Structure formats: C-alpha cells, structure tokens
Structure 1
Amino acid sequence: MILLPILASLLGFTLLCLGMSRHQRDLFGRAMSPGRTVAARWIGWTLVVLAYGGSMLIEGAALGAVYGVGVLTFGALVVAFTVTGMSR
C-alpha cells in the first residue's frame, strides 16, 4: 500500500521540476505558459503533501513520518538524477 505515496511523490516532484522554466526548456524545447507553470507547481506541492500524509495514514503517525520522509527522499532523488541525466 506504500506504493501510492511513492507514486504521488514521484509525480509531485516531477511537476515541481516542470514548474521551472529551465527544465521546461530542457524537456520541451520551450517554456510552458505561465498558467500551466503555476498549475504544475500547485499540483506538485499538493502531491508531495499527499504523499507524506498518505504515508502517515497508512502506517500510523510514528512510523508513517519515517516512511514519509523516506518516500519524499526517494522521489526527489529519482527526479534529480533523471533531470541531471537529461541535461547532458
């Protein structure tokens, strides 16, 4: 069941990454519209919060907080290494 917070974390950090014009240009060759950029940031932050909260709901407060930090760290590292590989 911890798969849902992991997927939310990955998608959330991907959208936060796409909320930056530099990464938009790296991926699409041009910047997205300002409305889409703002939407990507809002949805990204919402998914990051849901990933952490979902971990706490699934595993309880104490262990869920630890899982939540791990899930967010995993999601951030996967996106960071992917973006680093794309920019080469």
Structure 2
Amino acid sequence: MIAACVLVAIAGFAALCLGMARHQRDVVGKSLSRRSTWLAKATGWLALASSFVLAIVGEGAALGAIYWVGILTLAALTVALCTTALSRRR
C-alpha cells in the first residue's frame, strides 16, 4: 500500500508541476491552455489527497500521517530532480 502511495504522490506532484507555466515550458516546451493547466492542478491536488488516504488505510491514522509526510518529501524531490533534468535537456 505504501508503494502505491509513493507512486500516486509522485504523479500528483508531476501534475502540479505541469500546472505551472514555467515548468510547462521546461518539460513540454510550450505553455498549455488554461483548461489543461487547471486540469493539471486539480488532478495534482486530487492525487495528493488520494495518497494521504492510501497512507492512512495502509498504516493507520497516526503512522500513516507520519509516513505520508515522508512520502511527500521523497515524491517532491523526485519530481524536482526529473524536472531539472528535463529542462537541462532542452
């Protein structure tokens, strides 16, 4: 369950990354439409909320919340490193 939580959190941060105009240009090479940007942001927040639910279901309320904070750190670092690598390739 924790592995699924990590993957969903990474997907959530990736979607939030694509919800920002600067990162859209870095990753995709162009700015996305307003609708696509809004959809990316909404998807990102929904994925992060889902990862919280997965952590709570998998580990219980107290430990799940603590694991989730650590998972968010790992996921954010992963997306930041991947975004940096992709922007340097362009």
- TM-score normalised by L of structure 2: 0.91
1:20 corresponds to which residue? 20
Could you tell me how far 1:86 is from its partner in structure 2? 2.2
Distance 2:20 2:72 in 1: 19
1:39 aligned partner, one-letter code? L
Distance 1:82 1:29 in 2: 15
Structure 1 position 22, deviation (Å): 1.0
Q: Give the CA deviation at 1:75.
A: 0.6
Give the 4+ runs in structure 1 shifted more than 4 A: none
2:69 equivalent to 1:62: no
User: Which residue of structure 1 lines up, in the alignment, with residue 39 of structure 2?
Assistant: 39
Partners in 1 of 2:27 and 2:78 — Cα distance?
A: 16
Amino acid at match of 1:64: G
How high is the sequence identity, in percent, across the aligned residues? Answer: 45
Question: Which 5+ residue runs of structure 2 have no aligned equivalent?
Answer: none
Distance between the aligned counterparts of 1:32 and 1:49, measured in 2?
A: 24
How far is the alpha carbon of 1:27 from its aligned partner? 1.7
d(CA) in 1 for partners of 2:29, 2:65? 38
Q: Which moved more, 1:46-55 or 1:32-41?
A: 46-55
For structure 1, the residue ranges without an aligned partner over 5 or more in a row are: none
TM-score (norm 1): 0.93
CA RMSD of aligned residues (A): 1.0
Describe the superposition over 1:49-85 as per-residue Cα deviations: whole angstroms up to 9, x where unpaired: 1111210111001111111111111111100111122
User: Alignment partner of 1:50: what SS?
Assistant: helix
